[in-house]
């Protein structure tokens, strides 16, 4: 959510900032703004409700400068408007601030500032920061920002310009990502490397409680208390081309079509044929410690939570370790019992999801062992965890997750196989699962070739105002994720239920106007699933089945290739990603930027 871009150097800053904002559009936003330090040192601001293109249209032709910061806002305090858009300035227009996060005590600070004579013009929590910095009597900008932050409770990733200090940008982080980009006699700052990789791949990621000063030819990092910190730049593995659309009409379609290659990438170099297992050195968990695990708890939000549900089933089936998944947003508030024999897995595409990160921090405080399952190298959850796995899906730009979901489930299959072979899974079963994993990329390509048929089905069902998704055991998390995808991208209401629960309430909804999508794998529950479809047909319900063979009771069947029973959920979810995509396309939705949603949820 929200995006920050900043630059200081020799180049004309406005085009760089606008380009950076465009690369961050996938994060979700409702307004945008830019501020530059003009040639006379004054701060020049342009803001606009709506897309970056609206902002770009307002930027005057003469808007020259070599230092500036910019922002895309996702409304929390105050409705989307020009006035509430960032950057925010103090009354004398000396200080400009862009901010991601939430200031929890903003109301208290606002009342204090008004009592002192400040005139706040927006509804945002961020504006108080500009006034606090401006009112500090400190001699340096760094100390002014530090003074302001001492009054603040909440989360922030922020960047600050000051008219009296035109040679620098000061940034700070607490709970919201801030990444520095190191160039040749130029420096960048952003909330996401996507805004940086077109110009530099050398980055420094700030830790919570850390600040930085950027000048054109140098940078330094330090704590909010003023102590210097050491920062060694790392190289980002993704290139600018990874963020291009690659000839596709949308990022969502591109990312769905990249899944065969992405799965091959997560498998590459990890399979150990000699011992019928996999190598996962990043877990930092030796065989003795792995055998000592008595329970596994998987924490994620949204799509990551659904991937965790499939992961829990894989671990129970292959490693015989009791496992379950729970929304991190619920876990962190329910005062859960933290068992020293439980291994906790934190799942996040961005590695910055606030609810997951907060759960990790609470678990670490209580002495738990936490492993991260993330896509972004060097992200906050990766750094805070004791070890983990990168899922190597590559950049995912569309707000709705597709290839990262698939790669996360494959990563869980690798973990389940690893834990199973450490424990009681036979060599024969290990080889069986490895063979199944190796077949996945080719089978994904087979599924993708059925897109024209799926498009016709999506167009056929696009008039439905609501849909029901059902599955049993392995199929239920697939149903949940498929229902979420349809809701996210097409705005069609969808609910997912275990097929076994139909007669306990949801059957009341079944009628011709409410179609059902049934997940029907060829496993030991095939006849049970067919019985559920009988119940739906008896009530005149329309059925779209996703199965390994044509289903007589379904009105339409999407046939997917058969893999090992444990791995079937990986393949069965992919056609339903395409179904959601083409439903949204038929309804004219903004596919890459669904309303009200953001890619990386870094606030509560």
**pLDDT for 344 beyond 60:** yes
* Res. 600 pLDDT band, cuts 50 70 90: low
29: pLDDT strictly greater than 90: no
- How many angstroms separate the CA atoms of 181 and 205, rounded? 9
| Residue 191 to residues 87, 98, 133, 160, 173, Cα–Cα distance (Å) | 15, 11, 21, 14, 10
- For position 194, what pLDDT does the model report? 84
What local confidence, expressed as pLDDT, does residue 512 receive? 86
pLDDT digits (tens, 9 = 90+) for 373-403: 999 887 889 989 999 999 999 888 888 999 9
Average pLDDT over residues 35-59: 91
pLDDT tops 70 at residue 169: yes
On whether both 71 and 207 belong to a single domain, the answer is yes
What pLDDT does 483 receive? Answer: 97
Residues 228 and 374 in one domain: no
Domain membership of residue 479 (yes or no) is: yes
CA distances from 604 to 17, 126, 192, 329, 354 (A): 27, 16, 19, 8, 7
- Report pLDDT digits (tens) over 171-227: 999 988 899 999 999 999 999 888 888 899 899 999 889 999 999 999 999 999 889
Residues 260 and 385 in one domain: yes
Last residue of a domain, one of 215, 243, 271: 243
Q: Which of 25-39, 112-126, 249-263 has the lowest mean pLDDT?
A: 25-39
Burial pattern 499-517, b for ≥16 Cβ within 10 A else e, equals: bbebeeebbebbeeebbbb
User: Do the domain assignments include residue 573?
Assistant: yes
Sheet containing strand 295-300, strands side by side:
323-327, 295-300, 342-348, 369-374, 387-390
Domain of 120: which CATH number? 3.60.20.10
- pLDDT digit string, tens, across residues 406-417: 999 999 999 999
CATH value at residue 497: 3.40.50.10490
* Cα–Cα distance, 6 to 29 (Å, whole number): 17
pLDDT tens for 266-301 read: 999 999 999 999 999 899 999 999 999 999 999 999
Q: Is residue 392 part of a domain?
A: yes
Q: What pLDDT score does 140 carry? A: 96
- Does residue 113 lie within any of the structural domains? yes
Task: Report d(CA 585, CA 260) in Å as an integer.
Answer: 23
- In-domain check, residue 118: yes
Structure-block tokens of residue 475: 């199929």
Residues 175 and 44 in one domain: yes
What's the pLDDT at 495? Answer: 93
Instruction: Work out how many domains the chain is built from and give that number.
Output: 3
The answer as to whether 93 is a domain residue is yes
pLDDT for the residue 336: 87
> Residues 198, 295: one domain?
no
122 and 144, same domain (yes or no): yes
| Cis status, amide bond into 367, omega within 30 of 0 | no
Both 350 and 362 in one domain: the answer is yes
pLDDT of residue 395: 86
Q: Can you tell me the mean pLDDT for 59-73?
A: 92
Residue 597 lies in a domain: no
Percentages helix, strand, coil for the chain, rounded to the nearest 5? 40, 25, 40
* Residue at a domain's end among 243, 274, 296: 243
Section 61-72 average pLDDT: 92
Choice among 74-83, 282-291, 295-304, 344-353 with the minimum mean pLDDT: 74-83
Question: Which stretch, 82-91, 111-120, 306-315, 524-533, has highest mean pLDDT?
Answer: 306-315
**Residues marked as catalytic:** 2, 599
- b/e 375-390 (16+ beta carbons within 10 angstroms → b): bbbbbbbbebbbebbb
- pLDDT reported for residue 239: 67
Among 118, 126, 158, residue whose Cα is nearest residue 5: 158
Which DSSP helix (H) or strand (E) runs through 558?
strand 556-559
pLDDT (tens digit, 9 = 90+) per residue, 324-336?
999 999 998 888 8
- Average pLDDT score over the chain: 92
* Domain end (from 446, 481, 497): 446
Instruction: Say yes or no to pLDDT of 603 above 70.
Output: no
Q: What percent of the chain has pLDDT over 90?
A: 75
pTM of the model: 0.83
Q: State whether 90 and 163 are in the same domain.
A: yes
Q: Which domain holds residue 576?
A: 450-591
pLDDT beyond 60 at 590: yes
| Between 321 and 602, residue with greater pLDDT | 321
């Amino acid at each position: 959510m929200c995006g920050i871009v900043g630059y200081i150097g020799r180049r004309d800053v406005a085009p760089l900032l606008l380009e950076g904002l465009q690369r961050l559009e996938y994060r979700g936003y409702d307004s945008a703004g830019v501020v530059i330090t003009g040639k006379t040192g004054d701060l020049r601001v342009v803001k606009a409700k709506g897309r970056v293109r609206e902002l770009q249209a307002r930027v005057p032709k003469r808007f020259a400068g070599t230092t500036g910061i910019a922002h895309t806002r996702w409304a929390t305090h105050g409705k989307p408007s020009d006035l509430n858009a960032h950057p925010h300035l103090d009354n004398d227009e000396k200080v400009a601030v862009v901010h991601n996060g939430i200031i929890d005590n903003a109301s208290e600070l606002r009342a204090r500032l008004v009592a002192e004579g400040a005139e706040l013009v927006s509804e945002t929590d961020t504006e108080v920061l500009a006034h606090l910095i401006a009112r500090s009597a400190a001699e340096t900008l760094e100390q002014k920002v530090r003074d302001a932050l001492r009054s603040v409770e909440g989360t922030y990733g922020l960047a600050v310009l000051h008219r009296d200090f035109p040679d620098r940008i000061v940034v700070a982080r607490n709970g919201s990502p801030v990444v520095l980009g190191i160039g040749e006699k130029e420096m960048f700052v952003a909330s996401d490397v996507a805004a940086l990789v077109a110009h530099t791949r050398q980055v420094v990621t700030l830790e919570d409680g850390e600040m930085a000063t950027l000048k054109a030819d140098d940078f330094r990092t330090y704590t909010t208390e003023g102590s210097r910190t050491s920062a060694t730049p790392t190289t980002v593995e993704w290139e600018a081309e990874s963020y291009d659309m690659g000839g596709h009409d949308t990022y969502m379609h591109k990312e769905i079509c990249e899944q065969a290659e992405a799965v091959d990438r997560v498998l590459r170099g990890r399979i150990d044929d000699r011992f019928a297992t996999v190598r996962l050195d990043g877990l930092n968990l030796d065989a003795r410690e792995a055998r000592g695990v008595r329970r596994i708890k998987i924490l994620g939000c949204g799509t990551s939570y659904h991937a965790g549900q499939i992961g829990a089933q894989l671990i129970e089936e292959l490693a015989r370790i009791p496992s379950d998944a729970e929304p991190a947003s619920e876990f962190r508030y329910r005062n859960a019992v933290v068992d020293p024999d439980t291994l906790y897995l934190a799942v996040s595409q961005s590695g910055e999801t606030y609810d997951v990160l907060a759960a990790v921090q609470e678990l670490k405080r209580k002495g738990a062992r936490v492993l991260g399952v993330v896509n972004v190298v060097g992200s906050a959850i990766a750094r805070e965890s004791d070890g983990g796995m990168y899922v190597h899906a590559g950049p995912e730009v569309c707000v709705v997750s597709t290839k990262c979901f698939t790669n996360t489930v494959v990563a869980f299959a690798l973990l389940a196989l690893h834990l199973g072979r450490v424990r009681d899974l036979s060599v024969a079963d290990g080889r069986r699962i490895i063979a199944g994993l190796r077949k996945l990329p080719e089978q994904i390509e087979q599924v993708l070739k059925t897109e024209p048929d799926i498009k016709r089905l999506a167009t056929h069902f696009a008039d439905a105002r609501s849909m029901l998704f059902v599955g049993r055991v392995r199929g239920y998390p697939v149903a949940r994720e498929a229902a979420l995808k349809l809701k996210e991208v097409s705005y069609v209401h969808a609910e997912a239920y275990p097929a076994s629960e139909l007669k306990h309430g949801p059957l009341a909804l079944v009628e011709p106007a409410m179609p059902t999508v049934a997940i029907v794998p060829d496993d030991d529950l095939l006849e049970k699933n067919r019985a559920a479809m009988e119940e739906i047909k008896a009530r005149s319900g329309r059925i779209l089945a996703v199965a390994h063979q044509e289903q007589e009771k379904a009105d339409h069947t999407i046939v997917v290739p058969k893999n090992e029973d444990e791995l079937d959920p990986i393949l069965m979810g992919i056609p339903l990603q395409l179904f959601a995509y083409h439903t949204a396309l038929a309804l004219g939705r903004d596919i890459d930027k669904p309303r009200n949603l953001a890619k990386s949820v870094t606030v509560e």
